[in-house]
Amino acid sequence: MNENQKILVIGSSNTDMTVKTQTLPRPGETLIGGEFKMGAGGKGANQAVAARRLGGDVTFVCKVGRDLFGDNSIKGYEREGLDTSRILRSDKPSGVALIMVDAKGENCISVASGANSDITEADIDSVSDLIREASLLVLQLEMPTPCVLKAAKLAFESGVKVLLNPAPACALPDEIFRYIFLMTPNQTESEFFTGVPVHDEESAAKAAEVLRGRGVKDVIMTMGSKGSMAFTEEGAFFTPARKVQAVDTTAAGDTFCGALAVAIVEGKSLKEAAGFATAASALTVQKMGAQESLPYRNEVK
């Protein structure tokens, strides 16, 4: 077992406003939806809370506004048992995500980044001590890219593993790929970063080869309701998804990453980690909402 099991998540914090609809509206269309829910979200926050609920020792760094949403988010993270002592404040409003979820549980998300977009390279410098002390740094792409690069580089140079969930996909500097220990793109993101459309095992392997050729050590590609394909130094393997009735797939990928993080710092193999993460995300999709739907360790068992 690893002695240092500290997980540091640096990323976004949002308040999610979700409407359940039968189908997702087309451009210009108004639909009468169903239930409305407001809850805690943001890919960074979801991954931090998921890792914490699954037993991780997690510090979360994000930037929220000096407003009610920001205050409520921090209170929520404290209740979850995250170390929130280094959360930053911005004069911009806290991040908000508008989400629509259809009858099959598929979603459409639009994010007003607000304070998330105000994270600076100086902010990353100010938490360099946390980066150096971590066992694993977890990053996503809901904060400015230069900050993601800076954090990944600092971690890599300090011998700290970096898990990058490249969501939402955006252009990344070539340099970043060699700092990544584990990258977890979904099919769309895989195509975005490699130009290889991913629809089966063979195309997934091709896309992973491109990423690994650019310097990423290991890749676990999530393939929605099919499961995930891993291309790692341990070998290539497929982990089938559990067959469940999806109500809302929001935060399924975040749960997957949070669970992977916990399993990795506990010294589990990536194969075991993928199995654990698959079980955890199968629980998330059966409930509405982002953080409300994240499972606890005893439920995953």
Chain contacts with ligand RIB (rule: CB under 6 A): 12, 14, 16, 41-43, 46, 97, 109, 111, 142, 250-251, 253-254, 290
Closest approach of ligand RIB to the CB of residue 128, in Å: 25
C-beta of 11 vs 154, nearer to ligand RIB: 11
Query: What is the three-class DSSP state of 235?
Result: strand
Amino acid in position 188: T
C-beta of 38 vs 103, nearer to ligand RIB: 38
Closest approach of ligand RIB to the CB of residue 285, in Å: 12
User: Does the active-site annotation cover 102?
Assistant: no
Helix %, strand %, coil % of the chain (to 5)? 40, 25, 35
CA–CA distance, 3 with 66 (Å, rounded to integer): 37
Query: What is the three-class DSSP state of 145?
Result: helix
Bridge partners, 111 (sequence order) = 97
Closest approach of ligand RIB to the CB of residue 70, in Å: 14
CA–CA distance, 42 with 93 (Å, rounded to integer): 14
C-beta of 131 vs 285, nearer to ligand RIB: 285
Instruction: Name the active-site residue from 67, 118, 248, 254.
Output: 254
Closest approach of ligand RIB to the CB of residue 235, in Å: 29
Q: Which residue is nearest to ligand RIB (CB)?
A: 41
Bridge partners, 17 (sequence order) = 38, 98
Query: What is the three-class DSSP state of 253?
Result: helix
Q: How many CB atoms lie within 10 A of CB 293?
A: 24
C-beta of 112 vs 210, nearer to ligand RIB: 112
Q: Are 230 and 260 a contacting pair, CB within 8 Å?
A: no
Residues involved in catalysis: 254
